[in-house]
A and B are shown apart, each in its own frame.
Chain A
Amino acid sequence: MKISYNAIAQLLIALLVIFVICILINNLTLNLIKTGLGFSFAWLFRPASFALAEHPLPYSPSDSYAWALFIGWLNSLKVIFYSLLLATLIGTCVGLFRVGKNALLRIVSAGYIAIIRQTPLLLQLMFWYFVAILGIKETITSPIGDLLSISNQGTNFLGIKLSAEFTSLLIGLSVFTSAYIAEVVRGGINSVQKGQWESFRSLGLRESTGLYKIIIPQALPAILPGLTSQYLNLAKNSTLAIAVGYSDIYAINDTIINQTGRPIEGFIILLLSFLFLNLLISNGMELLNSMITKSNNP
């Protein structure tokens, strides 16, 4: 008796969902007929006829929309990859300071986390672009030769030229994500039992050795899931590149929709590229996770 009741409930809900979807598709078709656009992907192979400031592979305005989208995807991947490394580096340091022995460092890192997490990322990106990078009057060079120099034209790091847009996006995303990573690292380290700290100290190990050999290996399993979700957030947040004029997948998609007037197709392309990006990141982290668990329990 109960099974049939459940079956009816499910059937009703499925019918309701199908009904709503049908109404939406009906409205959509009517609206598309009214605008006279229809639904097709043939435009992907027409020339894009817009220039891109940054392209890791050769690109010219006569190339197709599909190629422009691929370039945008590579640009996204590039900024996500470097921000991921930089954010992990800063975040780990801040997280370690947050649980460290030095009280002043603890206060400073707590303040850093509070300020970064309570202000919008978009505002921070605008600050880094318009104030911090474009506001530079003369080139700043690092003390040691030409290792690193920053000007309002961009950054020169070991002979690699990075645009002002890329630099500000990289710094903004890394700083923002690092505050969240710091909290993940802190949580992971706090999840290690106090006795572990006491025992390595009583064995006479140095604080830093104990941290790297005893505490962090045990904290990693608790840190990695949180880190994965922060990396996924970073990938999604990288679409704010449009605010500083960096041509990532979202910005190029936006331009293309403005040119072709095809939002539905554009939405599908964006959805697929992000599903693929998410799969890439979560599978990469899964691989890292299995490597670490293997090395922890040989």
Chain B
Amino acid sequence: MKNRYSQIKNLKRVAFSNTVDSIVSLIIISIGITTLLTLSKWMIFSANWSVVSINLPLFLFGSFPNDQLWRPGLWISLFAIFSLITILGPQWSWLRKSLLLLWISYGPLGVFLLAGGIGLSSVESQNWGGLTLTILLTSCSAIFSLPLGIALALGRQSTLPIVKNLSSIYIDVMRSIPLIAVLFFGQLLIPLFLPVGLEIDRVSRAIIAFTLFVSAYIAEDVRGGLQSISRTQKEAGEVLGLHPFQITCLIILPQALRVALPSLTNQAVGLLQNTSLMAILGLVELLGVGRSVLANPEFIGRYIEVYLLLAAIYWILGTLMALIARHLEQQLTLEKKDL
């Protein structure tokens, strides 16, 4: 309490130290209050939130069959439960140690729950949509692009010239093309490169394109981590008589990944936001649902309500992901201390 009081006192001193500062502060305060008042007045009186409440199932699950809604519902609830477990930091060490495994299994679990299979009726990927599809695209692309990115980063650091050059060319070319081009040509070209007769659906094509794109960026982040590891680590491993493979996997990579974790988190949040590009390439993920709802004559002109909802969902998800990554990082370090 005392701390907060001194904070307020401090804020006063900092914000009103001289005339110019005071004028600027007063202008900001007045603009802030007016905006807040207008916005809350609009949200309560003018906004028509029926566009959100009527279409809520569409925003969450897309056009998933009505009698099977529990499947995406369960999957999204699991996301909330996993996040809660990660952020609260469980006391039992077995749970803490399996957190990473829990998150890695989240994507495949989603594919199983949505597509069906053993014991579940199968649902075509055209019916996947909304928040469910957004999370599916993000988690599956993230799982595939991390190993590929690490492999590319190691390739670029390699002493073998052919490996080094091939990885460098791939990374540099991929990083110079806009994502939407990769996604668009992924939809068009991937079928052309597959054996005649073999066809894969749009969602898988999107995941492949995202993986190819994001892995190039992950490779650069991991490379940053690899470069930060001191040479002595490698030498120590050599002195112990370890195989180069063991040195890379057991000594260098774990440390490099921990250094790269903050930038990898940024990539993951960026990936989440970039899945929205699939809305202009024919998938009805979160933004795609927003577009189709706005195209419905019944809800014409309700742009602000829909955009506010979408912005809020993306913002919350992104912030949550950053929070989870931070806690996961702490837990990984904790585990090291326990040993």
> Which residues of B are in contact with A by a Cβ distance under 8 Å?
10-11, 14-15, 17, 21, 24-25, 28-29, 32, 159-163, 166, 173, 176-181, 184-185, 188-189, 191-196, 269, 273-274, 276-277, 279-280, 287, 303-304, 307, 310-311, 314-315, 318-319
In contact, A101 and B17 (Cβ under 8 angstroms): yes
State the total of A-B contacts with C-beta under 8 angstroms.
133
Chain A residue at minimal CB-CB distance from B279 = A122
Q: Name the CB-closest residue of B to A24.
A: B193
How distant is A265 from chain B, measured CB to nearest CB, in Å? 11
A263 contacts B196, C-beta separation under 8 Å: no
Asked whether A271 lies within 8 Å of B287 as measured between CB atoms, the reply is no
Cβ contact within 8 Å between A118 and B189: no
Q: Which among B163, B304, B314 is the interface contact of A119 at CB below 8 angstroms?
A: B314
In A182-197, the 8 Å CB interface with B consists of: none
Contact B188 A263 (CB under 8 A): yes
Structural contact, B303 and A242, CB atoms closer than 8 A: no
The closest CB in chain B to the CB of A13 belongs to B163
Contact partner of B160 (CB less than 8 A), chosen from A9, A104, A266, is: A9
Report B-chain residues with C-beta under 8 Å of the C-beta of A121.
273
Taken together as a complex, chains A and B put the C-alpha atoms of A267 and B310 apart, in Å, by 32
Contact partner of A123 (CB less than 8 A), chosen from B11, B177, B179, B276, is: B276
Tell me the interface secondary structure of chain A in the complex: helix
Please measure, in the bound complex, the distance between the C-alpha atom of A170 and the C-alpha atom of B318, giving whole angstroms.
25
B contact residues around A267 at 8 Å (CB): 181, 185, 189
The contact sample of 14 A-B pairs, CB cut-off 8 A, is A6-B159, A10-B162, A13-B162, A104-B11, A104-B29, A118-B273, A118-B315, A119-B314, A131-B303, A131-B307, A240-B277, A242-B180, A264-B189, A266-B185
User: Is B280 a contact partner of A243 (Cβ separation < 8 A)?
Assistant: yes
A24 to B299, CA, bound (A): 46
Residues B177 and A274 in contact, CB atoms below 8 Å apart = yes
Q: Give Cα A121 to B32, complex, Å.
A: 24
Cross-chain contact A278 with B310 (CB below 8 angstroms): no
Known contacts being A118-B315, A123-B276, is A102 close to B189, with CB within 8 Å? no
CB closest chain-A residue, reference B189: A263
Say which residue of A120, A270, A271 sits within 8 Å of B173 (CB atoms).
A271
Residues of A within 8 A of B (CB): 6, 9-10, 13-14, 17, 24, 27-28, 30-32, 34, 101-105, 108, 115, 118-123, 126-127, 130-131, 135, 232, 236-240, 242-243, 250, 254, 257, 263-264, 266-267, 270-271, 274-275, 278
Closest chain A residue to B164, Cβ basis: A10
Report Cα–Cα, A19/B161, bound state, in Å. 19
Give A34 to B198 CA distance when docked, in angstroms: 14
Contact A118 B176 (CB under 8 A): no
In whole angstroms, how far apart are the Cα atoms of A297 and B176 in the complex?
Answer: 33
Smallest CB separation, B190 vs chain A (Å): 10
A10 touches B163 (CB 8 A): yes
How far apart are the CA atoms of A130 and B303 in the complex, in Å? 7
With A103-B11, A108-B28, A243-B280: A14-B269 Cβ-Cβ less than 8 Å: no
Quote the shortest CB–CB distance from B324 to chain A (angstroms). 14
CB distance from A135 to the nearest CB of B (A): 7
Nearest-neighbour CB distance to chain B for A87, whole angstroms, equals 17
- C-alpha gap A237/B177 in the complex (Å): 10
* A31–B315 touching, CB < 8 Å: no
In the bound assembly, the distance between CA atoms of A274 and B181 in angstroms comes to 10
Residues A30 and B287 in contact in the complex (CB < 8 Å), given A130-B303, A267-B189, A271-B173? no
Minimum distance in angstroms from B18 CB to a CB of chain A: 9
Question: Are B276 and A122 interface neighbours, CB within 8 A?
Answer: yes
Chain B residues in 8 Å Cβ range of A278: 176
Q: A120-B314, A239-B178, A271-B173 are in contact. Are A31 and B11 (CB under 8 A)?
A: no
Verify B14–A103 contact, CB threshold 8 A. yes
Partner of B269, one of A118, A239, A274: A118
Contact (Cβ within 8 A) B287 A31: no
Point out the residues of chain B lying under 8 angstroms from A6, CB to CB.
159-160
Q: Which residue of A103, A127, A238, A274 contacts B307 across the interface (Cβ within 8 Å)?
A: A127
Q: A6 vs B161: C-alpha distance in the bound complex, in angstroms?
A: 10
Nearest A residue (CB) for B176? A278
Q: Are B191 and A105 in contact (CB under 8 A)?
A: no
Contact A101 B303 (CB under 8 A): no
The contact of B28 among A104, A238, A243, by CB within 8 Å, is A104
Other-chain contact of B195, A27, A238, A239 (Cβ < 8 Å): A27
Q: A27-B194, A101-B14, A118-B318 are in contact. Are A250 and B178 (CB under 8 A)?
A: yes
A24, A115, A118, A242: residue with the most chain B Cβ atoms closer than 10 Å: A118
Nearest neighbor of A29 in chain B, beta-carbon distance: B192
Partner among A13, A24, A102, A275 whose Cβ is within 8 Å of the Cβ of B14: A102
B5 to chain A, nearest CB (A): 16
A126 touches B307 (CB 8 A): yes
Q: Is the CB of A122 within 8 A of B280?
A: yes
Q: In whole angstroms, what is the CA distance A27 to B197 when docked?
A: 10
A103, A135, A237, A238 pick with most chain B CB within 10 angstroms = A103
Q: Give 13 A-B pairs besides A27-B196, A122-B287 with Cβ atoms closer than 8 angstroms.
A: A13-B163, A27-B193, A101-B21, A108-B32, A120-B274, A121-B273, A122-B276, A127-B303, A127-B311, A240-B277, A250-B180, A263-B185, A275-B173
B residues less than 8 Å from A123 (CB atoms): 276, 287, 307, 310-311, 314
A234 and B152 CA atoms in complex are apart in Å by 25
**Chain B: CB-nearest residue to A253:** B181
How far does the Cβ of A130 sit from chain B's closest Cβ, in whole Å? 5
B33 CB, min distance to chain A CBs, angstroms: 12
B161's closest neighbor in chain A, by CB?
A10
With A32-B192, A104-B29, A105-B24 already in contact, the answer to whether A118 and B314 are too (CB < 8 A) is yes
Residues of the B chain whose Cβ atoms lie less than 8 Å from the Cβ of A127: 303, 307, 311
Distance of A151 Cα from B272 Cα, bound (Å): 34
Provide the residues of chain B in CB contact with A275, threshold 8 Å.
173, 176
